[in-house]
Amino acid sequence: MIWRFFYTLAIRAALPFVVLKLWWRGRREPGYRRQVAERFGDYRFGSERPVIWLHAVSVGEARAAAPLVRALQSEFGEHGILITCTTAAGRETVKQTYGESVLVAWLPYDTPGATRRFLAHFRPRLGLVMETEIWPNLLASCREFAVPVILANGRMSERSGRGYLRWRFLTRPAFAGLAAVCAQSEADAARLAALGAPAPKVTGNLKFDIAPDPDQAAAGLEWRSALGRPVLLIASTRSGEERMLLDALPANGTDALVVVVPRHPQRFDEVALLIGRESEAPARRSQGAMPRPTERFFLGDSLGEMAFYYAACDVAVIGGSFAPHGGQNLIEACAAGVPVVLGPSMFNFAEATRLALEAGAAVQVGNASEAMRVALGLCADPARREKMGGAGRALCLAHRGATDRHLELCRQWLRAAARD
């Protein structure tokens, strides 16, 4: 308790600087300047129905939650679904994915007052937090309000686990306060148990249950057919990766179109300028025009269209893995039947990476130069591409079912809450 007191003091002392950072980020992402009062627990809307609350911090978690949210809406139609986010891109993804079928709000800052106001306002019957979102005051307030919280699609890398252990005097009570834990793998379950989580259950990865959007996939296939040449996709890149990957491309010798899709929308213009230094200013997805036959690059500057980009490409290089960021989701590419090339840093997707490598759906390389060599080789090898793509689809089919396992735990806790 004493450690949470000092943690709360630190949070409160940092809040003025956090708000200034929000305002600064709002220059490029206006969403950060909207509904700021919600971050302090002041909400101007509610639900007339009992609420199931799910927290998805950003884009990846919002997408991963989709099969679970759809299942909750189908089975518990008498409940409203509230989804909270932390980032502007995550909130926009929620709106694009679910429209008006869910409520969306900012998660409050982790102070006792803000978290209590949040819970007192929405009165959720059940809470689910996606992947690795542990907030000591929030979970303490949930216990105070008798709101059971499930860690959904839980993952814990070795590096993150070491970080939590260093602060175990603060985080261990938070983990122990979870009602249930759904872990992606045995390794995740073991690390979460070591941190104090109660009896983690291995339920699998919800991302295997995500089916590519059929309309986007059809549009991507049509786009690639109209293009008439190989497409190399560099997907979900982080700052600095575009330069190292583009520098590794040969100056000539390939007619492949290189499609670059940055991870964060605030970097679209920055990456367009970077690509423009390599050649002429790139055609952009947001402009709707097809790239000309002489163009080498195309900028994927749209949100929520990864199914389009994966259907439109022959090979996908996954960003976030060439700098020490831990990678990005490779399962979407596997589900689309696309061969995957990964960099060395995939610790946030360790289990999915292991499975994809063992299945022959992915290749992992040590650096950007090797990635471009392997990817261009695959562009020129249709037989190998077909084999890897088939392995990716089979992998995703074999590992579906996490949604049903999550849903069973939700049923148990909602029944218990109804009895209380």
CATH code at 281? 3.40.50.2000
Q: How confident is the model at residue 398 (pLDDT cuts 50, 70, 90)?
A: very high
Q: How confident is the model at residue 125 (pLDDT cuts 50, 70, 90)?
A: very high
Residue 234 lies in a domain: yes
Average pLDDT over residues 363-369: 97
pLDDT, tens only, 76-113: 999 999 999 999 999 999 999 999 999 999 999 999 99
Three-state DSSP at 318 gives: strand
pLDDT, tens only, 126-150: 999 999 889 999 999 999 999 999 9
The CA distance from 358 to 276, in Å, is 38
The amino acid at residue 239 is: S
pLDDT, tens only, 371-387: 999 999 999 999 999 99
pLDDT at 252: 73
CB atoms within 10 A of CB 252: 7
Where helices occur in 99-211 by DSSP H, the ranges are 112-122, 136-144, 158-166, 168-176, 186-194
pLDDT at 420: 64
Q: Is the dihedral of CA 225, 227, 229, 230 positive or negative?
A: negative
Residue 89 lies in a domain: yes
Residue 13 lies in a domain: no
Question: Could you tell me the residue range of the domain that residue 77 belongs to?
Answer: 28-204+401-419
Same domain as 237, residue 190: no
Judge whether residue 253 has pLDDT over 90: no
Three-state DSSP at 100 gives: helix
Residue 256 lies in a domain: yes
- Alpha-carbon Rg of the chain, whole angstroms? 22
Same domain as 405, residue 386: no
Same domain as 115, residue 33: yes
pLDDT at 301: 95
Q: How confident is the model at residue 279 (pLDDT cuts 50, 70, 90)?
A: low
Query: Of all helices (H) and strands (E), which one includes residue 4?
Result: helix 2-25
Nearest to 201 by CA among 348, 412, 410, 405: 405
Same domain as 292, residue 347: yes
Average pLDDT over residues 36-48: 96
Same domain as 317, residue 234: yes
The CA distance from 412 to 286, in Å, is 45
pLDDT at 278: 60
Residue 287 lies in a domain: yes
Phi-psi region of 153 (alpha: psi -120 to 50; beta: other; left: phi over 0): left
Task: Tell me the percentage of the chain whose pLDDT exceeds 90.
Answer: 89
CB atoms within 10 A of CB 88: 24
Contacts for 98 with CB less than 8 Å, ≥ 6 apart = 69, 81, 83, 104
Same domain as 413, residue 330: no
Residue 209 lies in a domain: no
With tokens 């520098």, the residue in question is 247
Task: Note if 61 is an active site residue.
Answer: yes
Tokens of 361: 């759906």
Q: How confident is the model at residue 28 (pLDDT cuts 50, 70, 90)?
A: confident
Question: Which member of 38, 48, 61, 100 is catalytic?
Answer: 61
